[in-house]
A = this chain, B = another copy of it.
């Protein structure tokens, strides 16, 4: 049974999971501080700083890629453009080696031809509601899990549609004051998910939400 999973969704103490405005200079919409504790998607080697200690934070962040066969992401995670796509040569924030290495389905009202990369990443641009998008992503994932890559607006839509099986959120000990909320109150989820929480030496608090049967 393949899962639909959310990983490394950082939330400020006051509940914001992204900034207000995404621009080329501010990929997370002015909420860069949310990612200041992020030390990569693998516990050792390949990416990031392999000489750095292997911490509990890193082990939990590294769930991100395990058993994942496809990703779904909101348009703003791919780029700051709005409306019809300009002919600007933009291929995402990540250059020619996007970290995904799987098919990725980008939700947009402006479909366009896919973009392929040598490491197996393929960006598909689809105009679809959450259930249609998930159906396409599951077909592409070849039995593996589908990751919802964010941002918080698209995660909220999948939560509202009851399509999220697992979610890893991380409370970062900062206050942003403004931005995009993942929820008005996390307690609205506790009737549908079990919650395991662990604090680490860095000051982060990790929340693992597993959907109840």
Chain A contact residues, CB within 8 Å of chain B: 1-3, 5, 42-46, 50-51, 53-56, 59-60, 62-63, 66-67, 143-145, 166, 168, 194, 196, 198, 200-201, 206, 208, 210
Contacts and interface: CB of A to CB of B under 8 A. Distances in A.
Contacts of A5: 44, 54
Contacts of A50: 1-3
Contact of A42 (B56, B59, B67, B196): B67
A196 B45 contact: no
A54 B166 contact: yes
Q: Chain A interface mostly helix, strand, loop or mixed?
A: loop
Contact of A66 (B43, B145, B166, B200): B43
Copies of this chain present: 2
Contact of A67 (B43, B200, B206, B210): B43
Contact of A56 (B62, B67, B206): B206
Contacts of A166: 44, 53-54
Per CB-CB distance, the 5 closest pairs between chain A and chain B, nearest first, are A53-B210, A45-B67, A44-B67, A43-B66, A54-B166
Contacts of A201: 196
A190 to B, nearest CB: 15
A63 B67 contact: no
Residue among A42, A46, A54, A200 with the highest chain B CB neighbour number at 10 A = A54
Given A198-B200, A210-B54, A46 B60 contact: no
A166 B50 CA distance: 12
A54 B208 contact: yes
Nearest to A44: B67
A3 B44 contact: yes
